[in-house]
A = this chain, B = another copy of it.
Amino acid sequence: MTTPADAADHGLLSPQWAGLEIAQVTSDAAIVHAMLDVEVALAWAWEELGFAPTGTGQTVAGVREGFDVDVAELAARSRSGGNPVIPLVKDLRSAVAETDAAASVWVHRGATSQDILDTALMLVASRAIRQMRRDARATVESLVTLAETHRDTLMVSRTLTQHGVPSTFGVKAAGWLAGVVRAAAALERSHDALPVQWGGAGGTLSAYAVIGGEGTGLRVASLVAERLGLADSVPWQTQRAPVVELGATLAQLAGALGKIAVDVLLLARPELGELGEPSAAGRGGSSAMPQKQNPVLSVLIHSAARQAPGLAAELQRSALAVDERPEGAWHAEWQALRQLLRLGGGAAEAAAELTGGLRVYPEAMRHNLGMSGPLVVSERLMIEYGPRLGRDRLQELVTRAAGDADADLGALLRAEPELAEVSDSALAESLDPAHYLGDARLIVDRVVAGVREGGEA
């Protein structure tokens, strides 16, 4: 009735990444490709070291080119041994044997399933990160522009949901920038450190030494790493630091992007109206309400960022890996890691688009800042006039102004005898939010300069 292919996920429940390039790069097909890349690299390594006959690498690579894998069937067959490498190798070896029996001996020789799958996932991660990097860079550029453009754009800071002191949108954008730059730098380091995982049956590279003498396994690992563009490494089958660190970095990136999204989701509410998502034909519509323009990019980034920590924690738990290949912890990693790559990639692409076209409404920012009137500078008033008026008296005036829409804090202060010698212009300046920005501009400058110098702010 239904064929195995019907069981496929195409991302229907994952608008965070469905249809994007990241979906391709991390698909089952992409993972099969990566596993085959690893097997081919192994064949080449045997040849390069002089053990496999000349041409073995080319033969395996050639067979692989035309090698047709039914991924759904392969997935179903993977249950029997608990991983997809076993059936894949069986088929590949047969296919090579049809072309060249001698070459087929060298297929997967010395390797174990975990070597292939771990290394393939590192390859897939590397490819996925390259995309995130591209998008993260675009986001960084957009945020630099936003921070500089709005270095003097007044807005209110908000703490515990209430109005705090005056600030600028430049400071907010600089904060976003600092977070993304730091996460992107961590991602860069993580990418460059992605290692080959090569340990053979039990982590000793046992079979290689029989064939080529002691040291052969480590040499093969180096050659495989080199060909695949990964870092060299001793075996790490049950020392999962590379996966743990990668997961933490991806969660950090998702979090840095998610911070932008939650701010936009708030500030684009109709009652605030300070920001708006870039519009795109057809995006953000509703199936029920024709007037809706939903902030879909931010929703998708936010929902991706919510999920990332749980997945990263799953990877951290994989560190509790007993033996030389654990009895469940390893298997629990695979899908979590892929899901993290997808959510990170989807969030990165959406964030590049969001920050690239973010609509900023300085008038709404100014309007909202004005809502609280001079209360927004009450901290300043406490500093400047507290000593003369007494903190309690000033608190009393502020409380009165806060509780009564008709009370004017400026007028209340003007009426205090202790402040008689304060000039009207001095008082006016004290009450002006634009004159109470602290080091806002310096903070923007420092963050932007840090980015320009290639640092992390």
Beyond A162-B294, A307-B336, A329-B303, is A206–B316 a contact (Cβ under 8 Å)? no
The reply on A245 being an interface residue by CB < 8 A is yes
Asked if B290 and A437 make an inter-chain contact with CB atoms under 8 angstroms apart, the answer reads no
Q: Which residues of B contact A10 (CB under 8 A)?
A: 4-5, 7-9, 28, 71-72, 74-76
- Of A60-68, A104-112, A133-141, A411-419, the one touching chain B: A104-112
Task: A383 to B268: give the CA distance in the assembly, Å.
Answer: 28
A328 within 8 A of B: yes
Tell me if A390 is interfacial: C-beta within 8 Å of chain B. Answer: no
Partner of A259, one of B32, B238, B338: B238
| Residues on the B chain within 8 Å of A271, using CB | 269, 271-272, 368, 371
A406 within 8 A of B: no
Contact partners of A288 in chain B: CB under 8 A: 111-113, 200-201, 207, 379
Which residues of B are found within 8 Å of A216, using beta-carbon distances?
439
Q: Which residue of B lies closest to A86 (CB)?
A: B287
B439:A287 contact, CB within 8 angstroms: no
Compute how far the CA of A384 lies from the CA of B210 in the bound complex, rounded to whole angstroms: 8
Q: With an 8 A cutoff between CB atoms, is A255 at the interface? A: yes
Cβ < 8 Å to B, chain A residues 158-193: 158-168, 171-172, 174-176, 178-179, 182-183, 186
Contacting pair B378 A289 (CB below 8 A): yes
Q: Separation in Å of the A139 CB from the closest CB of chain B?
A: 15
Which of B31, B252, B263, B372 interacts with A322 by CB under 8 Å?
B263
Most buried by B among A31, A206, A299: A206
Q: Mark A223-252, 1 if CB is under 8 A from B, else 0.
A: 000000000001110111100110010011
By the criterion CB–CB under 8 Å, are A162 and B328 in contact?
no
One digit per residue, 1 when the CB lies within 8 angstroms of any chain B CB and 0 when it does not, for chain A 246-274 equals 00100110011011011101101111100
**Chain B residues near A269 (CB, 8 Å)?**
158, 161-162, 271-272
CB contact under 8 A between A28 and B5, given known A294-B160, A438-B205: no
The 8 Å CB contact of A306, one of B108, B201, B329, is B329
Q: A215-B442, A380-B207 are in contact. Are A307 and B332 (CB under 8 A)?
A: yes
Whether A218 contacts B161 by the Cβ 8 Å rule is no
Min CB distance A77 to B, Å, is 7
Using a CB-CB cutoff of 8 Å, which residues 306-357 of chain A contact chain B? Answer: 306-314, 316-317, 319-332, 334-336, 338-339
Q: Is A278 an interface residue (CB 8 A)?
A: no
Q: Are B208 and A439 in contact (CB under 8 A)?
A: yes
- With contact pairs A15-B331, A19-B79 given, residues A380 and B320 touching in the complex (Cβ less than 8 Å): no
Whole-angstrom CA separation of A402 from B457 in the bound complex: 40
Secondary structure type dominating chain A contacts: helix
Chain B: minimal CB distance from A28 (Å):
4
Q: Taking the nearest CB of chain B, how far is it from the CB of A301, in angstroms?
A: 8
Instruction: A329 to B438: give the CA distance in the assembly, Å.
Output: 26
Interface contact B252-A248, CB-CB below 8 Å: yes
**A388 at the binding interface (Cβ < 8 Å):** no
What residues of B have a CB within 8 angstroms of the CB of A176 in the complex? 239
* Interface: A145 (CB within 8 A): no
Contact (Cβ within 8 A) A80 B291: no
Per-residue CB proximity of A418-452 to B under 8 Å, as 1/0? 00000000000000000011111111001100000
A404: interface (CB < 8 Å): no
Interface centre among A32, A311, A316 (most CB of B within 10 A): A316
Q: List 9 A-B contacts (CB under 8 A).
A: A8-B28, A112-B159, A161-B265, A161-B323, A175-B236, A216-B439, A261-B328, A262-B321, A309-B317
Contacts A288-B379, A290-B379, A290-B395 supplied; 18 other A-B pairs, CB < 8 Å: A6-B27, A85-B287, A86-B286, A111-B287, A113-B287, A160-B323, A164-B202, A164-B324, A175-B239, A207-B379, A207-B380, A238-B259, A241-B252, A245-B252, A248-B252, A290-B398, A293-B402, A298-B327
Top 7 A-B pairs, shortest CB-CB distance: A19-B76, A157-B202, A255-B319, A302-B328, A164-B202, A159-B325, A248-B248
